[in-house]
Amino acid sequence: MSTPLLSVRDLVVEFPTRHGALTAVDRISFDIAAGEVLGVVGESGAGKSLTGAAIIGLLEPPGRIASGEVYLQGQRIDQLPASEMRSIRGKRIGMIFQDPLTSLNPLYRIGQQLVETIQTHSALRTAQARERAIELLSEVGIPAPETRIDAYPHQFSGGMRQRVVIALALAGEPSLVIADEPTTALDVSVQAQIIALLKRLCRDHGTAVMLITHDMGVIAEAADRVAVMYAGRIAEIGPVRDVVKAPKHPYTVGLMGSIPSIDSEHTRLVQIPGAMPRLTAIPQGCSFNPRCTDVFEKCRHQEPQPRTVGTADVACWLYDGATK
């Protein structure tokens, strides 16, 4: 097998507190192949955004990578000094944040922000960079880019702003884009447009995407593979179709059942009792065991490790020795 584009091995993100370290991301491992869209889904506090931030080196202190390794095209990047990381960020890994209003500087014109980003990552002159910026804007579907390039962010609507943010993320022609809830702040009709745009651009450029979201629907639309996170761990990771249609981990089963469907009749939603544990009180053994319907003795003491079940990797004792 060729080297994956991004490889995360046993990544641990900790927040040191007075009462000891809180483990927000607990020994997760996954790969993203070139050109692949990996969805990372989970509820608030599952650690999905922190995983993205850790990869790109934007963890807010006091959060820190306590152990584990992150490789980008075979090169280890989690221990790089800040200056080298800065040259990777934007150039080789692009980033799209949730709120397009806060990820653009309100005091600069769109064009200035794009030109700055382009010139940071290439040797283009300002005029050429501006040409390139107009190209990018038209590529992300902004009408009349030659005039809109001189507009300020507040003159754009939410969906148009998110398009600008996508243009910014793609400006350095990165091989990986980390998109953290890119459509959460948008209306459903605009969300559909942005997902379609993201899919098209990444296909055209061969860019891989790590798509972080809480919305299983967005994942089903856009991703090739999906990782379901729960309490800082990956419960299940596999091809989207298999995970959505035939989830294996009891948490994924519950999660899929709890989503009201637009196609089916009024049925009672599956209810997962309780809520995700706080970081201060992650239960022993499998972190899902207090809410799990299929729990047995082993779950309460020993933490399950991911094992291959069919096409997916599932961290659940139910599948212990089932297939190997």
Partner 1 sequence: MTDTQALVAVSELSRTFDVSKPWLNRIIERETKKYLRAVDDLSFVIRKGETFALVGESGSGKSTVAKIVVGLLPPTTGHILIEGVDLADVSRVAELRKIRRRIQMIFQDPFASLNPRWRVQKIVAEPIRAFGLEADDAATTRRVGELLSVVGLDPRDGFKFPHEFSGGQRQRICIARALASKPDFIVCDEPTSALDVSVQAQILNLMKDLQDEFGLTYLFISHDLSVVRHMANRIGVMYLGRVVEIAEAKMLFKAPKHPYTRMLLDAVPDLEMTGRAHQQIEGEVPNPISPPAGCTFHPRCPFANERCRTEIPAAIERADSLIACHGVEEGRLD
Among 107, 127, 188, 281, binds partner 1 (CB under 8 A): 188
Residue 193 engages partner 1 in binding (rule: CB under 8 A)? yes
Q: Which is nearer to partner 1, 34 or 283 (CB)?
A: 283
Q: Which is nearer to partner 1, 216 or 234 (CB)?
A: 216
Q: List C-alpha distances in Å: 90 to 118, 131, 298.
A: 9, 19, 45
Q: Which is nearer to partner 1, 113 or 191 (CB)?
A: 191
Which residue is associated with the tokens 């650690």? 47
Residue 201 engages partner 1 in binding (rule: CB under 8 A)? no
Q: Which is nearer to partner 1, 115 or 253 (CB)?
A: 253
Q: Which is nearer to partner 1, 92 or 148 (CB)?
A: 148
Residue 241 engages partner 1 in binding (rule: CB under 8 A)? yes
**Cβ-defined contacts of 280-284 (< 8 Å, 24+):** 280/19, 280/22, 282/23, 282/231, 282/232
DSSP code, position 128: H
- Under rule CB under 8 A, which residues in 206-235 are in contact with partner 1? 214-218, 220-221
CB 228 within 8 A of CB 216: no
Among 18, 154, 266, 324, binds partner 1 (CB under 8 A): 266
Query: Is residue 127 packed enough to be buried (19+ CB in 10 Å), middle (13-18) or exposed (0-12)?
Result: exposed
Among 59, 179, 198, 255, binds partner 1 (CB under 8 A): 255
Residues 6+ apart with CB under 8 A from 176: 5, 6, 32, 72, 92, 93, 94, 207, 208, 209, 210
Q: In whole angstroms, give the CA distance from residue 162 to residue 96.
A: 8
Q: Which is nearer to partner 1, 270 or 322 (CB)?
A: 270
Residue 192 engages partner 1 in binding (rule: CB under 8 A)? yes
Q: How many CA atoms lie within 13 A of 311 on its CB side?
A: 14
Segment interacting with partner 1, rule: CB under 8 A, options 108-116, 124-132, 201-209, 262-270: 262-270
Q: How far is the CB of 268 from partner 1 (least distance, A)?
A: 6
- Under rule CB under 8 A, which residues in 27-56 are in contact with partner 1? 43-44
Q: How far is the CB of 91 from partner 1 (least distance, A)?
A: 31
Q: List C-alpha distances in Å: 160 to 192, 200, 204.
A: 13, 16, 20
Across-strand partners of 228?
A: 41, 236
Residue 159 engages partner 1 in binding (rule: CB under 8 A)? yes
Residue 261 engages partner 1 in binding (rule: CB under 8 A)? yes
Query: Is residue 224 packed enough to be buried (19+ CB in 10 Å), middle (13-18) or exposed (0-12)?
Result: middle
Binding site for partner 1 (CB under 8 A): 43-44, 157-160, 187-193, 195-196, 214-218, 220-221, 240-241, 244-245, 254-255, 257-263, 266, 268-273, 275-276
